[in-house]
Amino acid sequence: MKNLTEQQKLEYREKKKSRIQTIRKTLSEMTEEQRTQLIEKFGIVTTIEGHPLTAHNTCFLYAQTEKPVTIIGGFQQWLKAGRIVKKGEKSLLIFVPSQKSNEGNEAAGDDDVFFFTANVFDITQTEVITE
């Protein structure tokens, strides 16, 4: 969100919030059986590092696109892997867990964990960098 006015930033956040609410509504209307069938049909998605996504994030991705999703990564992750996101490709969202920093070096509890959304792209949305 470089060089955006405060109004543009606000509009971007509202659009993203609305998009997330629409996806969540789609997922909440699905039964557990439907979610299981979706994962069985398309399989678990992995990150560029080889980590499998949770069933929730996998369903969250499939609710955003009709295309199969196999390997996902962020824009910078794809660059480090020698690939570039194709011009005009739209990102997909996933939930990423994080923890609040604990300055007292106390053990982090469940209350310290929160989730934020990250923009990712499937490998089919990228191409090898040729120079």
Q: Note the pLDDT of residue 71.
A: 95
Q: Is pLDDT at 17 greater than 90 in this prediction? A: no
Which residues, 6+ apart, have CB-to-CB distance to 103 below 8 Å? Answer: none
Question: CA angle, 10 as apex, 78 and 93 as ends, to 5°?
Answer: 30
Structural domain boundaries of the chain? 6-102+110-128
Query: Which residue has tokens 């059986």?
Result: 33
Q: How far apart are CA 77 and CA 48, in angstroms?
A: 8
Q: Note the pLDDT of residue 109.
A: 62
* Residue 28 or residue 91, greater confidence: 91
Task: Kindly indicate the confidence band of residue 28, based on its pLDDT and cuts at 50, 70 and 90.
Answer: confident
Q: How far apart are CA 118 and CA 87, in angstroms?
A: 19
Rg (CA), the chain: 17
Q: Note the pLDDT of residue 113.
A: 85
Q: State which H helix or E strand residue 113 sits in.
A: strand 113-122
130 secondary structure, DSSP code: -
Residue pLDDT, tens place only, 46-101: 999 999 998 889 988 988 888 889 999 999 999 999 999 999 999 999 999 888 77
